[in-house]
Each structure stands twice: as C-alpha cells, then as structure tokens.
Amino acid sequence: MKKRIIIILAIILTGFFIIYKWNTLKVWFLNLRHEPVPAAISVTNFNFNTNPNQPTTNQNLSTNKLNQNSQIQPSPILPENQDEPEEIPTSFNLAVPFTTQAPYFDWDMPYQEGCEEASLLTVHYYYQEKTFTEAVTKQEILDLVAWQEKNWGGHFDLTTEETAQLAKDYWGYEDSEVIYNPTIDEIKSFILNGYPVIVPAAGRLLDNPYFTPPGPIYHMLVIKGWTENNFITNDPGLYTKGEDFQYSYENLMDSIHDWNDGDVYTGRKVMLILK
C-alpha cells in the first residue's frame, strides 16, 4: 500500500514539475531541433541588374528625417538571362541583418505591432548593405509609422499587399512580387537567387517557445535561408533570439496566413519579394 502511494505521489510531482518547467523543456527541445547555420552570403555576391525605371529619389520621403540626406538606391532585379538553379543545395543562408521590432525591449505601441515595419527594414537594409543599432531601428519604425498615419490615416495591421505598397510608396520598390500559395521550393529558389522572402503568419501557430503566451495573433517575419529540415528566419518578434531562428518546414508553411481582416487562420498563403 505504501509503495503504491509513493508511486502515485511521484507521478503527481513529476506531472507538476513538467507543467512548471514546460516552457523550459520546449526551449530545450527547440535547441535540439536547430541545425548548424551555413555561412551567410552577402548581397554583393549576386549578379543583380538595376531597373532603369526604378526611381533614385522618392518624394514621399520628404518628411523622413533619417533618410532625407541619403539617396535611395535602385533595387536589384534578377537578370533575364539568369536561369533557375538546377539543384537546390541542402543548406543556404543570406547575410540579412537582424533587428527586433522592439528596440530597447520596448513592447508598447507602436512597436508591439511593428513586425511588418521591422521585416521590411530587415530586407531593405540587406539590399543597402547597412546594419542596425537600436537607436536606428527605433527611429526607422517611428518614421514608417508616422508616414502611415499621415498618408493612410493610421497605423494598422497590414496585409502582404499593403506591406508591398508601403515598400513601394516609402522606398520606391516598384517591381515587388506578392505570390500566393508558395511552395517550399519556390521560397528556396528566390532565396538562392539573393532575394529574402517576407511572409505573414498566424503567430499562434508558430512553434516558438519564446513568444509570450498565447503569442501574437498576426505576425510577419523574413525567411533568409534553410538547413536540411528547417527554414532560417529573422524573426523580429524576438528581442535577440530572433536572428537565424529556425522553424521546421512543416510548421512555417502551415503557419503562413495573411491578415484577412483579422481572420488570420483562414488567410491566404502568400509571400512578398521586394524588388
């Protein structure tokens, strides 16, 4: 009888321990799942042509203090004679700089809803070969939000098409592609040709133990590479751990959903390529 009571108590205590340490255990399993990140490839390694129709200045930036004195460079365009790669390597990684959407660990508004802006900045800085500081990130996000409030009447959750429109109006990315129902190989093909991929997601479907429960309803992040079993991302929803954060192919593809007026779980599968 005593032995049975001891066993029952041990089971109960073990159950309480697992519940108490559940998030720690999830992090441990996550670290086991992560695979070595390959060396990052710089944007300078790609044979991009410039688009003759791409503006080198943008009148919409007249109120953007951070960019007033800098010329907007033409966005890279894949040469017409460059064939699709015949084979996709087992692993690949672009040197996309990381920034969080919450500089100085400030998760208040507008940073709480700044994943779209941070994702755009990440890709834009990759093309510009620039790096972030927290002060720069803070000012860039505030400027993007101020532009939306002035021109769109507020700072809202953005669909993928609206995110593309923001990049076009703000920086001059005229030829960006919004692609619906992407496949894993399509995502890899764009990355292999030097283009980071921006995707929206139902944040609570993402396998990320670092999110504050229950996680964001809607989220946006950048896919910059892959390993044998995972996508390599820059996830702005994390303060420091978002750089090279890995999601399994299955989990990330299942999580990709557009805003869809807040009904994110039924939002369409879509990705954005800035050009």
Give residue limits of the domains in the chain.
Answer: 34-273
Using left for φ > 0, alpha for ψ between -120 and 50, and beta otherwise, residue 115 falls in alpha
Position 263, amino acid: D
Per-residue confidence (pLDDT) for residue 65, from 0 to 100: 29
pLDDT band at 120 (very low <50, low <70, confident <90, very high): very high
Give the global pTM: 0.79
Question: Which among 186, 252, 172, 250 has a CA at the least distance from the CA of 220?
Answer: 252
| DSSP classification of residue 118 | H
In this predicted structure, the answer to whether residue 51 has a pLDDT above a threshold of 90 is no
Q: Which residue has the higher pLDDT, 220 or 2?
A: 220
**Contact, 196 vs 95, CB < 8 A?**
no
Rounded to an integer, the average pLDDT of 181-194 is 97
Beta strand spans in 130-265 (E): 177-180, 197-202, 218-226, 230-234, 243-248
If you compute the radius of gyration of the chain from its CA atoms, what whole number of angstroms results? 21
Class of 34-273 per CATH? alpha beta
**Residue 199: CB partners within 8 Å, gap ≥ 6?**
220, 221, 222, 223, 252, 256, 270, 271, 272
**Contact, 123 vs 222, CB < 8 A?**
yes
Q: Which residue has the higher pLDDT, 148 or 79?
A: 148
Rounded to an integer, the average pLDDT of 36-48 is 92
